[in-house]
C-alpha cells in the first residue's frame, strides 16, 4: 500500500472520451483495468470530470463556421474547439461504468463555466482561477501525485504540469493513459515535456 501522502489522480475517464463517445480517445477504455488495479494500492484516490454547460465555449458548435480542432481567441485565452462533449448531467459526462468508483474519495468537476475551459485539475485555462484541488491536497498533506487517465496530451498533461509547478513530486502512469494525439506525435511530445520538467514517467 502506498503511503497516505501519495494520491492517485484519475483524469476524465468519462464515457464521451471512450470508444463510442462524442470525443473518443482511441483505446481510451483499455486503460481502465490498469487504473482499477492501481486503485488497490492507494488509500487516497481522486477523479476529475469535465462537466460542461450546454453551449460551452470549447464546443465548435458554439461558433458558427468553425470546426472541431480549429482554434480561436476566447476572452484572451487560446481555445481549441472540440465536438460537444461531457455536458453536465448527461450519460457522456458520467465516469465509465467499468471504472472502480468505490475507491474514489473525491470527484472534482471542471470546465463548469460557460466562457472558460479547464484542462488542468488545478486551474482553469486562465492559469489563475483555482479549482480547489490544491487546497484539498494540502489538507491531506499530500506530497506525491500519480496521474493517469484521458487524455495524455491535454488534461493529463496540464494537470501534471501544474502539479509540478505547485511543488508536488509527480508521476505519470504511462500505460494508464491514452492521448488524442492530434496532430500525430503530440502525445509523445507532451510526455517528453513532462519528463523534462521533472515528472517521472512510469
pLDDT in tens, 142-190: 999 999 999 999 999 999 999 999 999 999 999 999 999 888 899 999 9
Over range 106-119, report the average pLDDT: 97
Residues 68, 66: Cα–Cα separation, whole Å: 7
Q: Is residue 99 part of a domain?
A: yes
Angle between helix 157-165 and 186-197 (nearest 10):
10
Is 143 noted as a catalytic residue in this protein? Answer: no
Instruction: Classify 131 as helix, strand or coil.
Output: coil
Domain extent, residue 181, equals: 6-53+94-201
Residues 189, 111: Cα–Cα separation, whole Å: 25
**Per-residue pLDDT, 40:** 97
Q: Is residue 102 part of a domain?
A: yes
**Per-residue pLDDT, 157:** 98
Is 175 noted as a catalytic residue in this protein? Answer: no
- Band of residue 75 on the pLDDT scale cut at 50, 70, 90: confident
Q: Is residue 145 part of a domain?
A: yes
**Per-residue pLDDT, 182:** 80
**For 2-15, how does the pLDDT look when each residue is reduced to its tens digit (9 = 90+)?**
999 999 999 999 99
CATH assignment of the domain containing 115:
3.40.50.850
**Per-residue pLDDT, 8:** 98
Instruction: Classify 39 as helix, strand or coil.
Output: helix
Q: Is residue 140 part of a domain?
A: yes
Over range 93-121, report the average pLDDT: 97
Catalytic residue (choose from 50, 110, 117, 153):
110
Burial environment of residue 104 by CB neighbours within 10 A (0 to 12, 13 to 18, 19 or more): middle
Catalytic residue (choose from 18, 148, 155, 199):
155
DSSP E strand boundaries for 26-179: 45-50, 71-74, 77-80, 106-110, 144-150, 169-178
Over range 13-39, report the average pLDDT: 98
CB count in 10 Å sphere of residue 52: 27
Residues 118, 18: Cα–Cα separation, whole Å: 19
Residues 121, 147: Cα–Cα separation, whole Å: 11
**What is the domain count for the chain?**
1
Distances (CA, A) of 103 to 133, 169, 182: 18, 22, 32
Tell me: pLDDT of 122 over 90. yes
Which range among 74-78, 124-128, 139-143 shows the weakest confidence by mean pLDDT? 74-78
Is 12 noted as a catalytic residue in this protein? Answer: yes
Over range 87-108, report the average pLDDT: 98
Enter the pTM of the model: 0.97
> Which strand (E) or helix (H) includes residue 10?
strand 6-11
Amino acid at each position: 500500500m502506498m503511503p497516505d501522502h501519495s494520491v492517485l489522480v484519475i483524469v476524465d475517464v468519462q464515457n464521451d472520451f471512450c470508444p463510442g463517445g462524442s470525443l473518443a480517445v482511441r483505446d481510451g477504455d483499455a486503460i481502465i483495468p490498469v487504473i482499477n488495479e492501481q486503485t488497490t494500492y492507494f488509500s487516497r484516490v481522486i477523479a476529475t470530470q469535465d462537466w460542461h454547460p450546454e453551449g460551452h465555449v470549447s464546443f465548435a458548435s458554439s461558433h458558427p463556421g468553425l470546426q472541431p480542432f480549429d482554434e480561436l481567441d476566447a476572452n484572451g485565452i487560446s481555445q481549441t474547439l472540440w465536438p460537444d462533449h461531457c455536458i453536465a448531467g448527461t450519460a457522456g459526462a458520467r465516469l465509465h461504468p467499468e471504472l472502480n468508483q468505490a475507491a474514489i474519495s473525491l470527484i472534482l468537476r471542471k470546465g463548469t463555466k460557460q466562457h472558460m475551459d479547464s484542462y488542468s485539475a488545478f486551474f482553469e485555462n486562465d492559469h489563475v482561477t483555482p479549482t480547489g484541488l490544491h487546497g484539498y491536497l494540502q489538507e491531506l498533506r499530500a506530497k506525491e501525485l500519480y496521474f493517469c487517465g484521458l487524455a495524455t496530451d491535454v488534461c493529463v498533461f496540464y494537470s501534471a504540469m501544474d502539479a509540478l509547478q505547485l511543488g508536488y513530486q509527480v508521476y505519470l502512469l504511462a500505460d494508464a493513459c491514452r492521448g488524442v494525439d492530434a496532430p500525430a506525435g503530440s502525445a509523445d511530445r507532451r510526455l517528453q515535456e513532462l519528463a523534462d520538467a521533472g515528472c517521472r514517467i512510469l
